[in-house]
Amino acid sequence: MKGKLKLISGKRIESPLNPNTRPTSSKVREAIINIIGNKLEEASWLDLCSGSGAMACEALQKGVKRILAIEKQRETAKTCKRNLIEVSNTMDHSIHVQVICNELISFLKKGPKNKTIGFTKDSLSPDTKFDFVFLDPPYESGIYELSQELLLSKQWIKKSTILICECSSKSMPRIHNGWKLNKEKFYGNTSLLFLIPNQALNCFDDTDSMH
Domain membership of residue 154 (yes or no) is: yes
- In this predicted structure, what is the pLDDT of residue 199? 84
Among 8-12, 13-17, 102-106, the minimum mean pLDDT is found in 13-17
Domain membership of residue 23 (yes or no) is: no
Domain membership of residue 187 (yes or no) is: yes
Pairing of strands 96-101, 4-6: unpaired
Domain membership of residue 208 (yes or no) is: no
Domain membership of residue 70 (yes or no) is: yes
Domain membership of residue 24 (yes or no) is: no
Domain membership of residue 82 (yes or no) is: yes
**Per-residue model confidence as pLDDT tens digits over 173-199:** 999 999 999 999 999 999 999 999 998
Report the alpha-carbon distance of residue 138 to residue 123 in Å, rounded.
33
**Total structural domains within the chain:** 1
Neighbouring residues of 67: CB distance < 8 A, sequence distance ≥ 6: 44, 45, 46, 47, 56, 59, 60, 84, 95, 96, 97, 98
Domain membership of residue 88 (yes or no) is: yes
- Residue among 47, 59, 133 at smallest CA distance from 91: 59
CATH number, domain with residue 77: 3.40.50.150
For residue 180, the surrounding DSSP H or E stretch is: strand 179-187
**Per-residue model confidence as pLDDT tens digits over 71-116:** 999 999 999 999 999 999 998 888 999 999 999 999 999 999 888 8
Report the alpha-carbon distance of residue 179 to residue 198 in Å, rounded.
5
- Residue ranges making up the domain that contains 170: 29-203
Contact 40, 63 (CB under 8 A): yes
For residue 87, the surrounding DSSP H or E stretch is: helix 74-88
Average pLDDT over all residues of the chain = 89
Report the alpha-carbon distance of residue 30 to residue 99 in Å, rounded.
23
Helix (H, G, I), strand (E, B) or coil at 149: helix
